[in-house]
Structure 1
Amino acid sequence: MNANQDHPERLLDINGIKLCVQTFGDPAAPALLLIGGAEASMDWWDDDFCERLAAGGRHVIRYDTRDTGRSTTFPPGAPPYGNDALFDDAVGLLDELGIAAAHIVGVSMGGGIAQRLAVRHPGRVASLTLIATSPGGPGGPDRHDLPPMSAELAKRFAEDGDQTPDWSDREAVIAYYTDGERTFAGTIPVDEERMRRIAGRVWDRSPSPASAQNHWQLDGGEPVRARLGEIATPTLVLHGTADPLLPYGHGEALAREIPGARLVPLEGMGHQMPPPELWDIAIAEILSVSSGERP
């Protein structure tokens, strides 16, 4: 399915830049904002995943964060903004769309943005879903008590260094993203054909695919771990049991520190978007927490 045929993309002026946005479902339904991880355009929120959430009675919104996809990009290696700019963009997007409060779903870095939204703008967050993320900022002092990445992944990082593809070579970029999925996946086999399709679409939609690497140079933003106890909105934590970057203990910590949070293990998932094998669980849980239902 090509969602672009039925769900046209829009470029919105937000915070002095343009953000590319796409929506699914009835605009009058409760809004559900999807926030991607570092280096990830909105393409990683699979079309069918978004359609299934919309079929559950949600107005689903996905967007290219700055420096990804069709949103404004900056020269690779020189991002003139920090991590909090990504937070401000999410708030600005809600403002531009006229949405007072939305159900927020964030994955990895997007989960960090979602936590800051819930702490700093609690009235804008109707429910909170945190996927493959952590209460501690990257490398910061607030994650000293959390489990480190797997020894195998640390070894891979040490051996590979900062290797990146020729960003002008579509096939090389597809191989780079597909290999990255294998690196961060858990025990569920990677569907390489699906990954190549998504990665090809990422390249096709990105005038400056190298700019997405700017996300790795950002500061961690304002730490909020000490304030997680203030979160009163219904919260769901979805975390892979085989996450090599942020082991399962990170999800357990979030569930402990956010009052009333529900922790749901995603068996065999690594540090990644929920693969199709887990959609039945993930989608049902997201629709449940965003309906106000409690287990």
Structure 2
Amino acid sequence: MTTVNVNGVALGVESFGDDDAPLVLLAGGTTMLSWPDALCERLAAGGRRVVRYDLRDSGESTTADPEAPAYTLRDLAADAAALAGALGGGPAHLAGIGVGGMVAQVAVLEHPAAFSALTLAGTRPVAPGPPDADLPDHDQATMGRMFARPMPDWGDREAVAEFAAAGAEILGDDPDAARATAARIWDRTPGTAPPVQMANQMGLVFSRLDCAPRWRERLPGIEVPTLVVHGRRNRFFPVGNGEAIAREIPGARLLVLDEAATAIPGAAAGEVAAAMLKLG
């Protein structure tokens, strides 16, 4: 792992595969560990240079004030384009998961020359907050259970890992995988201050971003090959969100993972990698 400086910030990155191979850039949601190791390795084995990275205020990237971020969604999109340029090798295949998928949509719309393909995993076509009337919202019973829990002691690695595992079980994800990932995220988080930990573990910084203007109406203008991946059991962004994105981006392919929720399971890494590799 290392950092790359773009747009006045340092972005934490990790690379897999041959440096001279076509680039697949994976935007974290919010940390790079949202993208499972197995998927990165499968993409690299398929002849790609895979670089996953942390969004601002997470992981090894510049951390300032997650409670009052002085940047916008459009700045995060510009980071993706600048990082693709800094890494070199021509236009990149950009992929975003969760809130990283919002970054990826805006990045391809606003910086089309930087990208050759787009993958959107477990995301939706509108900003945090109430969705459009035709889009399914978070499952309210699930959200009630998630946010009724007391916060852990953010200075206790094991408590944070157990908190993540319990949340994964509520969401329908693998609690063992979530526990292991949360411990790795904790190890990479710069300090135990609750706002910083929550930005890394829960992505709550995203709810404080300025995400204007809307971009959903611009999706038909995306011209690069696009793959939309969504878990059938996703209760946070229900599958209707992925279906809407796939309808609105011309020629997009929808891959629904019947046994997945918000995370990409290790067992699905091969299927997702194969679909991504077909985009180029």
Deviations 1:256-281 (A, max 9, x none): 11111111111021122x10121221
**How far apart, CA to CA, are the structure 2 residues paired with 1:96 and 1:176?**
37
Q: Residue 211 of structure 2: which of 202, 208, 220 is its match?
A: 220
Per-residue CA deviation, residues 182-215 of structure 1 (Å, 9 max, x unaligned), is: 22226xxx251x3322211111111135422423
- Post-superposition shift, 1:158? 5.9
Question: Whole-Å Cα distance in 1 between the matches of residues 48 and 234 of structure 2?
Answer: 28
Identity fraction in percent: 42
Give the secondary structure class of the aligned counterpart of 2:241.
Answer: helix
CA distance in 1, matches of 2:120, 2:44: 19
Contact 2:146 2:170 (C-alpha < 8 Å) held by counterparts: no
One-letter amino acid of the structure 2 residue matched with residue 251 of structure 1: G
Question: In the alignment, is the contact (CA less than 8 A) between 2:11 and 2:56 conserved in 1?
Answer: yes
Tell me which residue corresponds to 1:17. 9
The residue identity in structure 1 corresponding to 2:70 is: P
Alignment gaps of 5+ in structure 1: 1-8
Matched, 1:164 2:154: no
Q: 1:177 aligns with which of 155, 158, 164?
A: 164
Q: TM-score, normalised by structure 1?
A: 0.86
| Alignment partners' CA distance in 2, 1:164 and 1:67 | 20
- Number of the residue aligned with 2:33: 43
> Structure 2: any 5+ residue segments left out of the alignment?
none
Cα pair 1:73 1:208 within 8 Å, conserved: no
For 2:40, what is the secondary structure of its paired residue?
Answer: helix
Distance 1:99 1:208 in 2: 35
Runs of 4+ in 1 over 3 A off after TM superposition: 157-160
In the alignment, which residue of structure 1 is the partner of 2:106? 116
Say whether 1:105 aligns with 2:95. Answer: yes
- The offset of 1:130, in angstroms, is 0.8
- C-alpha distance 21-224 of structure 1, shift in aligned 2 (>3 A): same
Tell me which of 252, 258, 272 is aligned to 2:243. 252
What corresponds to 2:50 in structure 1? 60
Answer yes or no: is 1:128 the counterpart of 2:118. Answer: yes
> Across the two proteins, how many residue pairs are aligned to each other?
272
Per the alignment, residue 155 of structure 1 pairs with: 144
SS class of match (1:177) = helix
> Is 1:288–2:278 an aligned residue pair?
yes
For 1:114, what is the secondary structure of its paired residue? helix
Say whether 1:85 aligns with 2:68.
Answer: no
